[in-house]
Amino acid sequence: MRIKEHPIIEWKEKKKVSFFLDGKPVQGYEGEPIAVALFEQGFKSISESLVYHRPRGLFCCIGNCSSCLMKVDGIPNVRTCTKQVKEGMQVETQKRES
């Protein structure tokens, strides 16, 4: 959900970017991290714990924790809260085997 009105901040109009989540097309804005774009579109759970497969989502949003690790363009364990979206990027949820 985007914030529409704010008394202090003005967000500039940004270019839309299309990328893929597990092969399906999703949208984000230029300069926005992958995890933020996914969260905005309702993907709250983007990862899972290794042993018990518990759902994991954004927690720190500044690259400190490892709650948002995903596979990005074939590279596993990318902190998606600091990695910006790019046109055509392939983002995959990481399952235990990867």
Q: Which amino acid is at 64?
A: N
71 binds other proteins (CB under 8 A): no
What would the 3-class secondary structure string for 12-35 be?
CCCCEEEEEECCEEEEEECCCEHH
Window of 17-25, 71-79, 88-96 that interacts with other proteins by CB under 8 A: 71-79
Distance, in Å, from the CA atom of 37 to the CA atom of 26, rounded to the nearest integer, reads 9
Distance, in Å, from the CA atom of 71 to the CA atom of 11, rounded to the nearest integer, reads 29
CB of 55 to other proteins, least distance (A): 6
Q: Strand, helix or coil at 46?
A: coil
Window of 15-23, 80-88, 89-97 that interacts with other proteins by CB under 8 A: 80-88
Q: Which of residues 4-63 bind other proteins (CB under 8 A)?
A: 4-9, 11, 32-33, 36, 39-40, 44-46, 49, 54-63
* Interface positions with other proteins (CB under 8 A): 1-9, 11, 32-33, 36, 39-40, 44-46, 49, 54-65, 67, 72, 75, 78, 81-84
